[in-house]
Chain A
Amino acid sequence: MLLAPIVWVLTVVICYYFAAQVWWFPPAISQHGLAYDAQFMRTLVITGIIFFLAQFALGWVIFRYRDNGTRAHYSHGNDKWETIWTSATAILFVGLVLMGTRIWVAVHLSEPDPNAVPIELMAKQFAFSFRYPGPDGKFGSTDLKLVNDAAGNPFGLDDNDAAGKDDIVSASLKVPAGKPIKLIMHSRDVIHNFFVRELRLKQDIVPGMEIPLYFQADTPGVYEIPCSELCGLGHFQMRSTMEVMSEADFEKWKVEQAANK
C-alpha cells in the first residue's frame, strides 16, 4: 500500500527538519530564555516520540492489514489498554504543563524587583515609543490632548510638569545588560504586542490597561521588536529594536539624550 511509505517518509522528513534546526530560535539572551529553551526541548522530545510512534503505527497497520478475504478477529475493544493509554496520556500532558509552570510563574507572578529600571512603552498605529524617567526617577504627567507625534511627543508630555522635564523619549528600546527591567506598557489606539524573540517574551499591549513586564537581558546586542498582534494596515512594518548595552554605555546614552533635548 503506497500510503504507508508516504506516511513514513513524511514523518522522517518532518522529524529531520526539527532535529536539524535549520529554521530555529535565535540564541537566548536571558536566564528566562535558557529555561524556556529547556522546556521547549522537553516538549519537543516527548511530542516528537509520540508523533513518530503514532505515524509509524498508522503506516504499519496500513501496510500490514490489507483485506485478504478472511474475516478479521472480532473484538469490540480492550478496557485494560483503554485505561493504560488514557492514564499515560493524562499524566504525560499534565506533567508537561506543570513543568512549564515555573517559567510562567517567574515571568508573571514572582515578586518584582523594587530596583528594576522603569521604562514606559507607548504603542500606536504603527510605532513603538519608549520613555525613561530621567535623573529624578519620576515620569511626568501626560495628557492625550498634548500628543503630537510630528513634534516628537507621542506620550503627550506636559511641559508644565517639573517631573516630566527630564523624561527621555526614544523610538527604540535601550536597556542595561544584567539589570532587571520593568517595562510598563500602554497603547493609545488598538491592541499591539511587544515581542523580542531573543528574550522569549511576548505580551499584548492593550488600550485602557497598564501592563507591566519584568525581564532581564544579559547579552549586549541589537534585537528586533516585531508587533505581534494585528493592529491594522501597517502591522507588518511596525518595528522597533531593543539594544542591550553595558551599564556604562546605557548611562552615557541617557546623558546624551538629555543633552539633545
Chain B
Amino acid sequence: MASPVAHSAHHAPQGFIRKYVFSLDHKVIGIQYYFLALFSVLIGMSLSLLMRFHMVHPDAKVGWFGTLWPTAAQGGIMTPELYLSLMTMHGTIMVFFVLTTAPQSGFGNFFLPIQIGAEDMAFPVLNMLSFWTTLLALGVMVSAFFVQGGAPLAGWTAYPPLSAVPQAGPGEGLGQTLWIVSIAIFSGASLMGAINFIATLIDLRCKGMSLMRLPLTCWTWFVTAILGLLGFAVLLAAGVLLILDRTAGTSFFLPAGLMVSDQILNHKGGSPLLWQHLFWFFGHPEVYIAILPGMGVTSQLLSTFSRKPIFGYRAMVFAILSIGFLGFLVWGHHMFMSGMSPYSAMAFSVLTMAIGVPSAIKTFNWIGTLWGGRIRYTAAMMYALGFVSLFVTGGLSGIFLGQPALDLYFHDTYFVVGHFHMIMGVAAIFGMFAGTFYWFPKMFGRMMNETLGKIHFYLTFVGVYAIFTPMHYLGIAGNPRRYSDFTNFDFLGKLLPVHTFMTHAAYFTAAAQILFFFNLFWSMWKGKKAPMNPWDATTLEWTIPSPPPFDNFAGQHPVVNHGPYEYGVPGAPKDFIMQTDPADVHAE
C-alpha cells in the first residue's frame, strides 16, 4: 500500500486498462461508482414499475412475464411470491447500490480529494479494490433472480425466522443465501471505502484547509464515512450469523418451538429480535448515509447559486455531527411494535425527536441562506431547492412515526412507505440530480443542457409528490405495506383508486427520466465545452481544468486562504472569493 507521501510521486498510468478499468485514480473510480449506481437505479426503478403494475392488476396476464419468470409468473400471471421478490430486490438494490453508492462513493470519491486540495485518496489501491468488490456484490445480488426458487421474499430488512429458514417460502433457499452473501461483500467494500475517506480527510488536507474551512460537502462525506465504518461492521457480523443459522445449524436468531411448513425445526435459544437490533443498528445510520451527502450538496448549491455565504456554517457543522452521533442512538424506533421492552421504546422516542432538531436547524439555515439572496435558477439549483421541499415533507411525517403511541397504528402501513421514500429515497435522489448537474462540467468537461434539465426537474418534482403523498393517506386508512394485492380485505378494496393513481404517477415519473438519461449521455459527447468555473463557485475543484488532469493540481500544492462560502463580499473585486485567492483579497 502506498503511503500518502509516497503516492504523491506517482505518474499517470498508460494504457486503456490501467486508465479506465483497473484505475487507481479517484476520479475514474468515482465515475465507475456513479455508473454502477446509474445501472442499479435502472433495475430498481423497473422493479418498482412491475410492483406498481401488479398491485393494481394482480390477475393480469402479460406474455413476457412468463418468458422472464417461467415458474414465478407461469402463463404470464405474476405470483404473490414474485411480487415479494421484486419488492425485496427493489429495496435492497436502491438502498445499497444506489443511495449508498452514488452520493458517497461516486461524488465523494471524485470531489473529496479535490475539494481538500489532495492529489488522490489516501489509499488508491484500496479504493480500486472497494469499487470492484462493490461490483462483485451487485453481481451476486442480481444472480439471486436466476437461481432455483428465485430471489428472496423477506424484504430488504430480512427479518428471521422468514429469512433464516429455507422452508419458509420460495426464494428463501439459495436466493436468500446469495442475498446475505452479497450484503456481506458489500459491507466489506463499504468498510474499505469508509477507512479511505476518513484517512483522506484527516491526513491529506492542503495547507490552510482547516476543518472550519471545509466545504460542507466534505463534512457530510466525512461523517457518512464514520457512519459507514461503524454501521457496516455490525451488518457484516449480523450477516455472518444469519448464514450460520441457515447453513450450520446455529440458533442466533431462531428460538425453540418452530414449526415451518408442517416441519418441526431443531433450533433453540435464539431470538428473532437480536437480528432486528443488529440490523437497525446499521439500518438507521444507513438512512443518514443516504441523506447526509445530499444535505452537503444542497448546502453547497444553495450558497453558490444564491450568491450568499451559507447561513450559520458552524451550526451546520454541529448539526451534521450531532445527526451522525444521534443516528446511532435511535435504531429502536424501527422496533416499537417488535415486542421489545416498552420502556426502551420511550427512550428511543425521545432520542428520535432529538435528532429532528439538527434536521430542523439545517432546514432553517437553508431558508436563511436563500433569504435576501440573488438566486440564479440553474437546473442544479432547482434540484437543490426541490431537495429542501422534499426534505421538509419527508421529515415531518417522521414526527408521527417517532412517537410509539402513534406508531401503534402507523407501523408497517403505507404511511411508513411514504415517509421513507420521500426522505431517504426521493430527497436523496434529488441531491444526486443536483450533484450531477453541478459537477457534470467538472467530471466530463462539458455542460449539460439546462432547458432539458429544468423540464426534467419540474416533471420529476410533481411526479414524485404524486406518487408518494397519497401513501400517507393510505397509511391513515390503515393500508398495510408489502401486500401484493388488495382484493382480500373490504377496507382495502375501497382504497384501490388511490393505488391506481399512484401507479399512473409512477409510470409518468419513470418516463420523465428518459429526459435525464438523454441529457446525461448526449451532453457527455455533444454538450458545450465547460469552462474552468462555470458557476462562479469558490471551492477548489473550480480552480483546475474541466476535466481535471490526472493528479488534479498538476504537481502544484494549493494553499487555502478563505472559507468555502465567500459570496457577495463587500469591497471584493468579484462577488465571490475563491478559497485559494490570496489572503489580502478579503476586504472588510
Contacts and interface: CB of A to CB of B under 8 A. Distances in A.
Given A23-B476, A94-B354, A237 B153 contact: no
A226 B346 contact: no
Contacts of B357: 86, 89-90, 93
Given A73-B568, A109-B343, A188-B257, A54 B356 contact: no
Nearest to A83: B315
A70 B84 CA distance: 56
Contact of A236 (B272, B399, B411, B488): B488
A206 B81 CA distance: 22
A12 interface: no
Contact of B337 (A23, A74, A202): A202
B433 interface: no
Interface in A222-261: 224, 226-237, 239
B374 interface: yes
Given A66-B375, A237-B488, A204 B405 contact: no
B27 interface: no
Category for how many chain B residues contact A: 35 or more
A207 interface: yes
B522 interface: no
Interface stretch (B120-128, B162-170, B237-245, B512-520): B162-170
Interface string A170-211: 000000000000000000111101010100111110111101
A228 B413 contact: yes
Interface string A13-25: 0100110001111
Contact of B498 (A23, A90, A101, A207): A23
Contacts of B569: 74
A160 interface: no
Interface residues of A, number: 100
B151 interface: no
Contacts of A44: 400
Contacts of B382: 3
A47 B412 contact: no
A151 interface: no
Contacts of A94: 350, 353-354
Contacts of B161: 189-191, 207
B364 A85 contact: yes
Interface string A117-139: 00000001100000000000000
B186 interface: no
Contacts of B570: 71, 74
A230 B84 contact: yes
Given A54-B363, A94-B354, A206-B273, A72 B312 contact: no
Contacts of B159: 190-191, 229-230
B568 A72 contact: yes
Contact of B375 (A26, A65, A102, A188): A65
Nearest to B270: A208
Interface in B457-489: 458, 461-462, 465, 469-470, 473-474, 476-478, 480, 482-486, 488-489
A204 B498 contact: no
Contacts of A232: 84, 153, 162, 168-169
Interface stretch (B105-113, B192-200, B303-311): B303-311
Contact of A233 (B153, B405, B488): B153
Interface in B156-199: 159, 161-162, 165, 168-170
A103 B476 CA distance: 18
A144 interface: yes
Contacts of A89: 356-357, 360-361
Given A24-B477, A232-B169, A201 B408 contact: yes
A226 B480 contact: yes
A219 interface: no
Interface stretch (B28-36, B387-395, B441-449, B552-560): B387-395
A117 to B, nearest CB: 21
B389 A65 contact: no
Contacts of B315: 77, 82, 86
A97 to B, nearest CB: 5
A107 to B, nearest CB: 7
Interface in A21-64: 22-26, 36, 39-40, 43-44, 46-47, 50-51, 54-55, 57-58, 61-62
Nearest to B575: A71
Nearest to B478: A197
A116 interface: no
A81 B313 CA distance: 14
Contacts of A6: 458, 461-462
B365 A228 contact: no
- Most chain B C-beta atoms within 10 Å of own C-beta, residue among A7, A73, A147, A204: A204
Contacts of A1: 377
B491 A197 contact: yes
B63 interface: no
Contacts of B170: 233
A231 B382 CA distance: 42
A111 interface: no
B274 to A, nearest CB: 11
A115 interface: no
Nearest to B566: A74
A51 B472 CA distance: 14
A163 to B, nearest CB: 20
A50 B396 contact: yes
8 contacts: A2-B458, A23-B477, A25-B409, A72-B372, A76-B309, A76-B310, A209-B255, A224-B489
Given A61-B367, A67-B307, 10 more contacts: A1-B377, A17-B473, A61-B375, A66-B375, A78-B311, A104-B403, A125-B168, A147-B262, A207-B257, A226-B492
Interface of A: 1-3, 6-7, 10, 14, 17-18, 22-26, 36, 39-40, 43-44, 46-47, 50-51, 54-55, 57-58, 61-62, 65-79, 81-82, 85-86, 89-90, 93-94, 96-98, 100-104, 107-109, 124-125, 144-145, 147, 149, 188-191, 193, 195, 197, 200-204, 206-209, 211, 224, 226-237, 239
Interface of B: 79-81, 84, 153-155, 159, 161-162, 165, 168-170, 254-262, 264, 270-273, 306-315, 337-339, 342-343, 345-346, 349-350, 352-354, 356-357, 360-361, 363-365, 367-368, 370-377, 382, 385-386, 388-389, 392-393, 396-397, 399-400, 402-409, 411-413, 458, 461-462, 465, 469-470, 473-474, 476-478, 480, 482-486, 488-492, 495, 498, 567-570, 575
